[in-house]
Amino acid sequence: MVSFLFKRLIQSFIVMFTVALIAFSMFRFVGDPINNMVGQDTTQEQREELREQLGLNDPFVVQFLRFAGNAVVGDFGISYKFKVPVSEMIAERMPATLELAFVSAVLALVVGIPLGVYTALRRNGVISKMVMTMSLFGVSLPTFLIGILLILFFGVVLRWLPTFGRGDVVDLGFWTTGFLTKSGILSLILPSITLALFQMTLIMRLVRAEMLEVLRTDFVKFAKARGLPDRSVHFKHALKNTLVPVITITGLQLGSLIAFAIITESVFQWPGMGLMFIQAIADVDIPIMAAYLVLIAFFFVVINMIVDILYYAVDPRLRTSDGS
């Protein structure tokens, strides 16, 4: 287990290093940072001075190491456009994205898994077939379209729910949360459904397929032959075995919830990191883009690590294979 974790750590490090390298190359190759920072009337001398001051004349390796070193302690430099440290901007925006992603993930799991189990158990039922048909929409409709349709229906026609922003938030000092106010919670509903829908249908279809597979196994048949009631066979034995492979996919999907919140955030004008990233692209604000890239990669790596450890917790076959 230790050697496995160690290997994983090395892999994670390589991934982070590569992403950092890509993020950093943007500084070098996407336009001239000095041009982006100064006005039209800055003289050539002033530009050279600034260049020297910022260390842009140093060799590539030195600059990259400086970037990486700073990134490790969370310093991604100063935004070209807003002239404030990127780390501050991210700290301000991150809670919005993480809260949205969290609610979506919970929604996707809480709805997706039971629906998957249900459609597997009642394979030929009318409701199952309806759910399966509906789920095709979830997989095939693009996120932005779903978002826009939801806004149109619940926001414009019915006027039940807010259509943009986070509503009122409470500042806890290190975190701003929308969970504590009514408007905050109402504002979360539409964007989280939009973001969750794709993952929900994916998880549902995955659980269904796995569950059907497990229901055909010998141990399920043997459990039935021992007279165990359906409830125990389905939930105690079959479902647990179903969830082993589902964990991996779900873990990866959580990462992409955070990463792909961009579209949802744009549609709902959600003040999260994704929206900030979109604006940064428009402004060619490279420090923000670099920081965002590195951060998302970091989330993925951490989630993957957790998934691997969870695997050990869930599946006894992995735990003891070192020992015996």
Partner 1 sequence: MELLQINDLKIQFPSRRGTVDAVKGVTLTVKPGEVLGVVGESGAGKSTIGNAVIGLLEPPGRVAGGDVYLKGEQINNLDRDAIRKIRGRRIGMIFQDPLTSLDPLQTIEQQLVETIDLHLKLGAEKSLERAIDLLDQVGIPNPAERIKHYPHQFSGGMRQRVVIALALCAEPEVIIADEPTTALDVSIQAQILELMRRLCREKQVGMLIITHDMGVIADITDRVAVMYRGDLVEEGTTQKILGDPDHPYTKSLISAVPRPDVRLHRFPMVDYIEKEEDRKKDFDISTHWLGQAQDFDAVEGSLVSVENLVMKFISKEALLKKNRQYFTAVDNVSFDIRQGEVFGLVGESGSGKSTVARMICGLYKPASGSVNFGGTDLTKIKSETELDYYRRQMQMIFQDPFSSLNGRMKVMDIVAEPIRFHKLASSNQEVETIVLDLLEHVGLGRAAALRYPHEFSGGQRQRISIARALATRPRFLICDEPTSALDVSIQAQILNLLKDLQEELGLTMLFISHDLPVIRQMCDRVGVMKMGQLVEVSETETLFEAPSAPYTKELLSLMPKLDKLSHSGLEIED
Using CB under 8 A, which residues numbered 191 to 220 contact partner 1? 217-219
Does position 295 bind partner 1 by CB under 8 A?
Answer: no
Contact 204, 250 (CB under 8 A): no
**% helix / strand / coil in the chain, to the nearest 5?**
75, 0, 20
Please tell me whether residue 231 binds partner 1 under the rule CB under 8 A.
Answer: no
Closest CA to 195 of 285, 137, 264, 132: 264
Q: Which of 8, 47, 81, 224 binds partner 1 (CB under 8 A)?
A: 224
Q: How many CB atoms lie within 10 A of CB 50?
A: 15
Q: DSSP labels for 202-253?
A: HHHHHHHHHHHHHHTSHHHHHHHHTT--HHIIIIIIIIHHHHHHHHHHHHHH
Residue closest to 165 by CA, chosen among 136, 133, 199, 188: 188
Q: Does 237 bind partner 1 (CB under 8 A)?
A: yes
Query: Which residue's CB is nearer to partner 1, number 283 or number 315?
Result: 315
320: contact with partner 1 by CB under 8 A? yes
Q: Residue 240 interacts with partner 1 (CB under 8 A)?
A: yes
We find the least distance from the C-beta atom of residue 2 to partner 1, in angstroms, to be 9
Least distance (Å) from partner 1 to the CB of residue 207?
Answer: 16
Enumerate residues 4-23 that contact partner 1 by CB under 8 A. Answer: 6-7
Chain residues binding partner 1 by CB under 8 A are: 3, 6-7, 217-219, 221-229, 232, 236-237, 240-241, 244, 314-317, 320, 322, 324
